[in-house]
């Protein structure tokens, strides 16, 4: 046991969205002198544009801070940034396992919210020391004493010594650093023991291959060692080790208690799995570290190349994305309507949307996504139990004994005046209430059981609307429940377009069918023949709209001065057609798919 | 088409007042301004005549605005410069546009004297209530008397323009106008479906939902109604919006539809010369400045290569009832239309919009209703 580890603190910052986690991280980095104010872009740790746009962190980033405490000693503080959205609890748990403590940031004007609790729960699971910090103390609406009480009551941790800070202005930031030094336990590994390093994140670097972010629990690793992945037994020569400061800084070695990275020219992400333990071939550790919760995709959709887009390009992009995102899953599939594509699995709708945007923006791909859906559990008449993600793979109704859908336990936090509205919303979404708690006179927590397929579309948006933005939500998978589910097809000009099929609850089929038909009618252009749009369950048509045949499209006057203009218009018309997809003899614009995807609240 | 044009378009942008539906370059103009304009126009015509070495003209069209507002003096100016700078010995058709109620005998005789042998008069409707709504300056009575005046002045080739699909216009209203037109007995009729152009008073009124337009079905009913009636009365349809008595189509316009070249003079005028489509300046200042500098007042130029020309041949040719001469197209553009557009033609023939008869590819009656769609299919 060296006393080197006495001076190390490994911690994360956890919080509900917008409580100031990233700003605090920036202040800590600044305070420990790593970067000047000018060098810091706002929220430097949120490096991706997309993240910045949405105000959330997606990727993990770690950094080492060197802090000289009030006791005069120099400490190494390893800060691991974590994402804060309900879809990414998996990613949060990964970084937490690398820490001994967690700084819990609570907005002093908002108090304990959905993800505050969710994150605390995860930190608890990892056995971390949780240190509350009250943020935004400079705001006039800050109520520190109330929030302190809330933390003690609701979370059950002592908060009377919680520092009051303003991450935005930099007020009392040293108190947080002192808190970390004093209250986060130091690591207690043994650098002489065989190497035991936990991979808590991976990043793909075009030159270095896959870079593993690691927390060393025991042992030492340096360049030239032969490392071994315990789950697969695959070995690699260590090319480089180092720490993040926040950019990678190579070091001769890293040891027990450290947080850093290892590279080994690893090309295949399967050889560097998050949750795996790295040890040395020549002196392997006996037991691997307990793994993380395996990320289970909950929401699926089909991703297909748009007209003229390359299937291979999409596959390559998905492979690249997967290198950095173990939670993304995909496999090839085909659709009669859309051709060759992929069935992709995501942690949730946000994850799905972000992946789609990344494919479109970072990889410049033109893709069509089918409606997102969940996995259903189907028991067939022959006794076989299968899981169905793609509605087109659902067996015939005559072959099905029962169908089950995934349900979630949702915790909804709202101001009390919206209780009626929100209960109505949950009812509409086939929810059943487990219980309701008053957090204080003004806020309520509703615990509802809801079908996942009612939550993934726009439940969150509806919740926000009904609570004027004050509502928040956290949900967790809670098993399967038998349900009256049907497959709804959409037919265009009497032809079933498989890409539009969805599995819906029987009670929702007619209204959803009507909505889709209505939307498609607006989006599909008129043709030289009448187009019936139908929603059907089996042979039964449950909703219908009709697009009239084109009756008139002619230019009355075309004289000398009109010719150029006319040509331009016709060219534009033709260009517009290029973004269409031929389905049978109906030309469908790509946005038709989005139309089916996005649902507004029913009017 | 690199042959020298034998057609000329001249633009006179003056009007007494602006009609509610009009998006042409036209405005009320003071005498001083008019003189300035005429001087520039004169110079421009001289420049054209000089550059192309007194080209032979077969057709001339003076459009606007309201050319019939020109004074005797102005007409004289125009006539002189045209005759001096162009070879008028073979002139077949010299048209001007006129507004009912602006006709002055002296001016008409002057037009005749410089060679004008065709008048195109805008009527739009013989329903006085409707005429007012359109912002026209005349009544149906004025149309009749103006028409009579034209005949008195020996104009034996007259076109009347009418419009359908007008706000609050009924099918009966429109057919009534058609009857009255037939009664007057012009040589040629143009019938246009009202198009609401952006930025016009009508556009605003439609946005504000203050006027009600006939829907698509009513519009088509009117169109097919008038086509039939005019045909019965001897006005064969030869283009989407144009009808003429035997042998009397507008030859100048045929030049457009056959993709042939033409000169342009005046503000906002368009020409097609040496394979380039030209648009003259839309504002007087720029127009004047260029001319004073001895430059052609071109605001826009579009080079038409073989592929463009080939498409235009179809785009414009299909507007004519007779359609596109397949052999001529194939030989002009070294193509094989039936092979190049095999599937398009098949589909449109099957849909009933297109037919190929006696070597001509043409739109059917139904095809004329959706001409844009069919034509767009022939874009590469």
Per residue in A439-471, pLDDT tens? 777 778 899 999 998 887 778 878 888 887 677
Cβ atoms of B51 and B226 within 8 Å: the answer is: no
- At residue A43 the predicted structure's pLDDT band, cuts being 50, 70 and 90, is very low
What does DSSP say about strands A400-415 and A443-451: parallel, antiparallel, or unpaired? antiparallel
Is residue B54 helix, strand or coil? coil
More confident residue, B362 or B16: B362
Across A307-316, A474-483, A591-600, B240-249, the highest mean pLDDT is recorded for B240-249
pLDDT at A44 > cutoff 90: no
pLDDT at A47 > cutoff 70: no
A558·B256 Cβ contact <8 A: yes
A66 is written with which tokens? 């060197």
A558·B319 Cβ contact <8 A: yes
Mean pLDDT score, A476-480: 88
Per-residue model confidence (pLDDT) at position B37: 95
Which residues in chain A touch residue B353, judged by CB atoms under 8 angstroms apart?
A: 528
Q: What percent of chain A has pLDDT over 90?
A: 46
Per residue in A58-74, pLDDT tens? 444 688 999 999 999 99
Which of A29-33, A141-145, A263-267, A480-484 is predicted with the least confidence, judged by mean pLDDT?
A29-33
Per-residue model confidence (pLDDT) at position A435: 93
Per residue in A388-421, pLDDT tens? 988 888 999 899 999 999 999 998 888 889 999 9
Mean pLDDT score, A22-46: 67
More confident residue, B250 or A266: B250
pLDDT at B274 > cutoff 70: yes
More confident residue, A268 or B274: B274
Mean pLDDT score, B181-203: 90
More confident residue, A498 or A186: A186
- At residue A314 the predicted structure's pLDDT band, cuts being 50, 70 and 90, is very high
Determine the Cα–Cα distance for residues A5 and A53; give it in Å rounded to an integer. Answer: 38
Per-residue model confidence (pLDDT) at position A85: 57
Count Cα neighbours of B144 within 13 Å in the Cβ-side half-sphere: 10
Q: What percent of chain B has pLDDT over 70?
A: 100
Crossing angle of helices B171-184 and B216-232, in 10° steps, is 20
More confident residue, B373 or A324: B373
Following CA atoms A566, A569, A570, A573 in sequence, which dihedral angle do they give, to the nearest 10 degrees?
Answer: -160
Per-residue model confidence (pLDDT) at position A57: 44
Q: Listing from the earlier edge strand, what are the strands of the sheet with B93-98?
A: B236-239, B242-244, B188-193, B158-164, B118-124, B93-98, B59-64, B7-12, B263-265
pLDDT at B39 > cutoff 90: yes
Distance from B106 to chain A by nearest Cα, in Å? 30
pLDDT at A56 > cutoff 50: no
A425 is written with which tokens? 């919303």
pTM exceeding 0.95? no
| B64: contact with A, CB 8 A cutoff | no
Distance from A553 to chain B by nearest Cα, in Å? 4
DSSP code string of A311-355: HHHHHHHHHHHHHH-TT-EEEEEEETTTEEEEEEEESSHHHHHHH
Cβ atoms of A37 and A8 within 8 Å: the answer is: no
More confident residue, A352 or B56: B56
- At residue A46 the predicted structure's pLDDT band, cuts being 50, 70 and 90, is very low
Mean pLDDT score, B252-262: 96
Per residue in B277-313, pLDDT tens? 999 999 999 999 999 999 999 999 999 999 999 999 9
Mutate one of B264, B272, B315, B346 to test the A interface: name it (highest A CB count within 10 A).
B315
Which of A189-198, A316-325, B28-37 is predicted with the least confidence, judged by mean pLDDT?
A316-325
Mutate one of A563, A565, A573, A586 to test the B interface: name it (highest B CB count within 10 A).
A563
Mean pLDDT score, A143-152: 91
Question: For residue A382, what are the β-bridge partners?
Answer: none
A322 is written with which tokens? 């997967």
What sign does the CA torsion over A228, A230, A231, A233 have?
Answer: positive
Following CA atoms B98, B100, B105, B108 in sequence, which dihedral angle do they give, to the nearest 10 degrees?
Answer: 10
Residue A424, number of CB atoms within 10 A of its CB: 11
Q: Which of A557, A563, A570 lies at the smallest CB-CB distance from B376?
A: A570
Contacts of residues A91-95 at CB distance under 8 Å and 24 or more positions apart, as own/partner, are A91/A60, A91/A327, A92/A14, A92/A119, A92/A122, A93/A122, A93/A125, A93/A126, A93/A292, A93/A293, A94/A60, A94/A200, A94/A201, A94/A274, A94/A275, A94/A292, A95/A12, A95/A60, A95/A62, A95/A200, A95/A201
Mean pLDDT score, B232-240: 97
Give Cβ neighbours of residue A395 (< 8 Å, ≥ 6 apart). Answer: A378, A380, A386
B319·A571 Cβ contact <8 A: no
Distance from B56 to chain A by nearest Cα, in Å? 20
Closest CA to B194 of B271, B284, B130: B130
Which of A1-10, A78-87, B110-119, B251-260 is predicted with the least confidence, judged by mean pLDDT?
A78-87
Cβ atoms of A585 and A524 within 8 Å: the answer is: no
Cβ atoms of B177 and B165 within 8 Å: the answer is: no
Per residue in A81-116, pLDDT tens? 776 555 555 567 778 889 999 999 999 999 888 778
- At residue A192 the predicted structure's pLDDT band, cuts being 50, 70 and 90, is very high
* Alpha helix ranges (H) inside A373-468: 419-428, 452-455, 459-466
- Going from the C-alpha of B252 to that of each of A163, A323, B127, B228, B256, the distances in angstroms are 88, 68, 30, 25, 7
Backbone angles phi, psi at A282, to 5 degrees: -75, -20
Residue appearing with tokens 């085909």: A334
Determine the Cα–Cα distance for residues A520 and A524; give it in Å rounded to an integer. Answer: 6
A456 is written with which tokens? 């993934």
Determine the Cα–Cα distance for residues B16 and B12; give it in Å rounded to an integer. Answer: 12
Taking one residue from A and the other from B, the number of pairs with CB-CB distance under 8 angstroms is 87
Cβ atoms of B237 and B223 within 8 Å: the answer is: no
More confident residue, A321 or A9: A9
More confident residue, B257 or A90: B257
Mean pLDDT score, A24-32: 86
Residues of A with CB under 8 A from a CB of B: 528-529, 550-561, 563-564, 566-567, 570-571, 573-574, 577
Alpha carbon A551 to its chain centroid, in Å, reads 47
Mean pLDDT score, A567-584: 83
A458 is written with which tokens? 């726009």
């Amino acid at each position: 046991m060296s006393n080197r580890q006495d001076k190390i603190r490994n911690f994360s910052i956890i919080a509900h969205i917008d409580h100031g986690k990233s700003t605090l991280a920036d202040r800590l980095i600044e305070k420990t002198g790593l970067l000047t104010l000018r060098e810091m872009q706002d929220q430097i740790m949120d490096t991706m544009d997309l993240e910045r746009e949405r105000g959330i962190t997606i990727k993990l980033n770690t950094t080492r801070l060197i802090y000289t405490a009030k006791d005069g000693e120099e400490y190494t503080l390893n800060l691991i940034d974590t994402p804060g959205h309900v879809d990414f609890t998996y990613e949060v748990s990964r970084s937490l396992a690398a820490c001994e403590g967690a700084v819990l940031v609570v907005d002093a004007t908002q108090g304990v919210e959905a993800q505050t609790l969710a994150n605390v729960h995860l930190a608890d699971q990892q056995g971390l020391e949780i240190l509350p910090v009250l943020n935004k103390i400079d705001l006039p609406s800050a109520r520190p004493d109330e929030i302190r009480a809330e933390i003690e009551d609701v979370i059950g941790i002592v908060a009377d010594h919680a520092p009051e800070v303003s991450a935005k202005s930099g007020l009392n930031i040293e108190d947080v650093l002192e808190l970390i030094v004093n209250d986060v336990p130091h690591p207690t590994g043994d650098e002489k023991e065989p190497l035991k390093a936990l991979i808590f994140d991976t990043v793909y670097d075009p030159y270095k291959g896959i870079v593993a972010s690691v927390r060393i629990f025991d042992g030492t690793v340096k360049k030239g060692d032969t490392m071994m992945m315990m789950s697969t037994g695959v070995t690699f020569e260590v090319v480089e080790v180092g720490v993040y400061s926040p950019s990678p800084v190579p070091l001769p070695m890293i040891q027990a208690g450290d947080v850093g990275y290892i590279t080994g020219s690893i090309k295949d992400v399967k050889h560097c799995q998050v949750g795996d333990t790295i040890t040395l071939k020549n002196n392997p550790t006996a037991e691997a570290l307990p793994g993380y919760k395996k990320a289970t995709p909950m929401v699926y959709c089909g991703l297909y190349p748009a007209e003229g887009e390359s299937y291979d390009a999409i596959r390559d992009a998905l492979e690249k994305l997967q290198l950095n995102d173990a939670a993304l899953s995909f496999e090839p599939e085909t659709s009669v309507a859309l051709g060759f594509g992929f069935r992709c699995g995501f942690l949730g709708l946000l994850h799905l949307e972000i992946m789609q945007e990344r494919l479109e923006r970072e990889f410049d791909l033109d893709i069509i996504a089918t409606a997102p859906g969940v996995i259903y559990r189907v028991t067939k008449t022959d006794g076989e139990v299968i899981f169905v993600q793609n509605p087109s793979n659902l067996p015939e109704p005559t072959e099905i004994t029962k169908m089950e859908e995934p349900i979630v336990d949702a915790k909804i936090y709202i101001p009390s005046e919206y209780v009626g509205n929100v209960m109505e919303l949950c009812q509409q979404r086939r929810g059943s209430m487990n219980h309701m708690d008053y957090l204080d006179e003004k806020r309520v927590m509703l615990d509802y059981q809801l079908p996942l397929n009612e939550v993934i579309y726009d439940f969150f948006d509806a919740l926000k609307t009904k609570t004027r933005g004050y509502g928040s939500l956290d949900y967790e998978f809670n098993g399967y429940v038998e349900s009256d589910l049907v497959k709804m097809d959409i037919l265009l000009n009497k032809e079933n377009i498989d890409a539009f099929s969805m599995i819906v609850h029987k009670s929702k089929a007619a209204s959803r069918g009507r909505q889709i038909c209505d939307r498609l009618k607006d989006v599909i252009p008129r043709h030289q023949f009448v187009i019936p749009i139908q929603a059907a369950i089996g042979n039964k048509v449950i909703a219908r709209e009709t697009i009239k045949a084109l009756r008139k499209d002619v230019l009355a006057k075309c004289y000398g001065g009109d010719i150029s203009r006319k040509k331009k218009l016709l060219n534009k018309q033709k260009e517009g057609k290029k973004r269409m997809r031929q389905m049978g003899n109906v030309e469908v614009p790509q946005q038709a798919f989005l139309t089916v995807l996005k649902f507004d609240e029913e009017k | 088409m690199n042959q020298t044009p034998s057609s000329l378009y001249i633009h006179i942008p003056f009007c007494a007042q602006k009609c509610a539906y009009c998006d042409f370059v036209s405005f009320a103009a003071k005498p001083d301004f008019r003189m300035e304009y005429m001087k520039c126009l004169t110079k421009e015509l001289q420049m054209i005549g000089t550059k192309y070495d007194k080209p032979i003209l077969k057709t001339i069209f003076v459009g606007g605005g309201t050319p019939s507002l020109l004074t005797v003096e102005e007409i004289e100016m125009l006539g002189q410069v045209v005759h001096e700078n162009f070879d008028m010995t073979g002139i077949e058709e010299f048209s001007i546009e006129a507004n009912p109620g602006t006709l002055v005998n002296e001016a008409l005789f002057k037009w005749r004297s410089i060679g004008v042998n065709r008048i195109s008069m805008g009527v739009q409707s013989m329903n006085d209530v409707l005429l007012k709504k359109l912002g026209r300056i005349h009544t149906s009575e004025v149309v009749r008397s103006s028409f009579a005046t034209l005949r008195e002045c020996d104009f034996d080739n007259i076109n009347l323009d009418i419009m359908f699909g007008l706000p609050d216009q009924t099918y009966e209203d429109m057919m009534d106008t058609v009857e009255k037109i037939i009664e007057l007995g012009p040589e040629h009729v143009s019938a246009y479906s009202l198009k609401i152009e952006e930025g016009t008073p009508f556009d605003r009124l439609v946005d504000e939902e203050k006027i009600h337009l006939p829907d698509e079905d009513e519009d088509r009913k009117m169109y097919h109604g008038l086509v039939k009636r005019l045909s019965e009365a001897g006005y064969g349809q030869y283009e989407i919006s144009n009808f003429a008595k035997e042998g009397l189509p507008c030859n100048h316009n045929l030049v457009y539809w056959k993709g042939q070249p033409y000169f342009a003079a005046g503000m906002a005028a368009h020409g097609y010369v040496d394979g380039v489509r030209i648009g003259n300046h839309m504002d007087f200042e720029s127009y004047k400045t260029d001319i004073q500098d001895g430059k052609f007042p071109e605001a826009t130029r579009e080079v038409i290569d073989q592929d463009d020309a080939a498409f235009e041949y179809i785009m414009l040719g299909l507007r004519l009832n007779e359609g596109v001469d397949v052999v001529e197209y194939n030989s002009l553009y070294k193509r094989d239309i039936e092979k190049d557009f095999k599937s398009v033609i098949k589909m449109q023939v099957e849909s009933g919009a297109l037919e190929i008869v006696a070597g001509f590819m043409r739109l059917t009656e139904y095809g004329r209703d959706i001409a844009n769609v069919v034509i767009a299919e022939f874009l590469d």
